[in-house]
Amino acid sequence: MSAGLIEPHGKQLINRSLEGHERQDTFEQAHALPRITLSKRNIADLQCIATGIYSPLEGFVNEADYNSIVKDMRLSNGLAWSIPVTLQIPESDAEKCRLDSQIALAHPNGEILAVMTVKSKFTPDQDHEAQNVYLTTEDAHPGVKAMKAEGPVYLGGPISLVNDIPYDNFLEYRLSPVQTRLEFANREWNTVVAFQTRNPIHRAHEYITKTALETVDGLFINPLVGMTKSDDIPADVRVKCYETIMSLYYPKDRTLLGVFPAAMRYAGPREAIMHAIARQNYGCTHFIVGRDHAGVGDYYGTYDAQTLFREFNADELKIQPVKFEHAFYCKLTGGMATAKTSPSAKEDRIHLSGTKVRAMLRDGKKPPAEFTRPEIAQILIDSMQAPALSAV
């Protein structure tokens, strides 16, 4: 690892994946343990914990850390952490999960993935969690709905991965922090800006990522491919868009694509902090924060995520936020811009809503070139007219 790379959050990159004889022995012993079947969100969190994406977490958070995160956006030791990563179970499974004992964590296909030592078992006030983390208790909020659906009983404790999590997509892009840090070092990138997205890259995204790239050594495009809302564009379609636009419109030697396996929580400002921490663990020094980062509906203010970063100093978050206003195509200047750089009136600015763009795509109409590259528009049109495609 290059001495020039940023240190992981908490100073140590966590690895909770067992190897060799220890892995095999623990896997075999796990078959005799009480078993919990994981949800899609659990599996995404398990992957992020085991590979160090969520460093310094070594497992699902215990009650003390949970309470501290919900109240103060910090672990109980004071380290910045904005969203509780929890293992929630139904009450019917609670009795078999005893304190200071081990349980097996299984994939829905029945395969045991990990062993967990139960250090904490508690039943918190989920409305209190929802109000603090998501700023609402409404089930209409997809993050609140998903959280409550996971179960009312929370388990905390360290995990050990004993089996590879089965994936059949994006295998070449499923890079761990160890792998990205090695790649950054090999490319001699000491400064790297990360771009989080759950949407295809349109012209506004292209503008802000390239503007940020002007100031650093490399750009890490790191789209989230875990669980998202049913009306979000499927991950397989998005990855095809990323591959296409990067091959045609970005410098290959200064950009890298890797997928972020996390589940989307739609927690707005708090999720922006969590996303930044994960990218610091990947080895990135800078993190793009645009309008309504990780937002949904009207639950958060347009730039609330940018404001929240002010609550953490440089000693708490080493990664630096790169803040952008809403970008648009400016007819007056003939290029992409923001309100900071364009003197144009609103009628001279082209930016379409996601609802309007989806309607155009369903009708087989290409959005204007000022909004998206034609190659990307065609991929999206084809996907909209192929209902067999399903979200990851």
Q: What is the DSSP string of 147-206?
A: HHHT-SEEEEEEEEE-SPPP--S-GGG---HHHHHHHHHHTT-SSEEEE--SS---HHHH
- 15, 67, 132, 199: the active-site residue: 199
Q: Which residues of the chain have pLDDT under 50?
A: 1-2, 388-392
Same-domain status, 195 and 311: yes
Q: Indicate the SS3 state at residue 123.
A: coil
Query: Is residue 4 included in any domain, yes or no?
Result: no
Same-domain status, 263 and 307: yes
Cα–Cα distance between 271 and 214 in angstroms, integer? 26
Same-domain status, 111 and 197: no
- The count of domains in the chain is 2
C-alpha triplet 350, 240, 204: angle, nearest 5°: 20
pLDDT of residue 321: 97
Query: Is residue 391 included in any domain, yes or no?
Result: no
pLDDT of residue 231: 83
Query: Is residue 7 included in any domain, yes or no?
Result: no
Averaged pLDDT score across all residues of the chain: 94
- 222 catalytic residue (yes or no): no
pLDDT of residue 356: 76
Pairing of strands 286-289, 349-350: unpaired
- 199 catalytic residue (yes or no): yes
Choosing from 161, 195, 222, the residue where a domain stops is: 161
In the structure encoding, which two tokens stand for residue 381, read together?
A: 């049109």
Same-domain status, 62 and 154: yes
Check residue 325 and give left, alpha or beta (phi > 0: left; psi -120 to 50: alpha).
Answer: beta
Q: Provide the CA 384 distance to its chain's centre, in angstroms.
A: 24
Place of tokens 């937002």: 295
Same-domain status, 81 and 194: no
- 16, 181, 198, 291: the active-site residue: 198
Same-domain status, 123 and 198: no
Query: Is residue 10 included in any domain, yes or no?
Result: no
Q: In CATH, what number is assigned to the domain containing residue 121? A: 3.10.400.10
250 lies in which domain range? Answer: 173-385
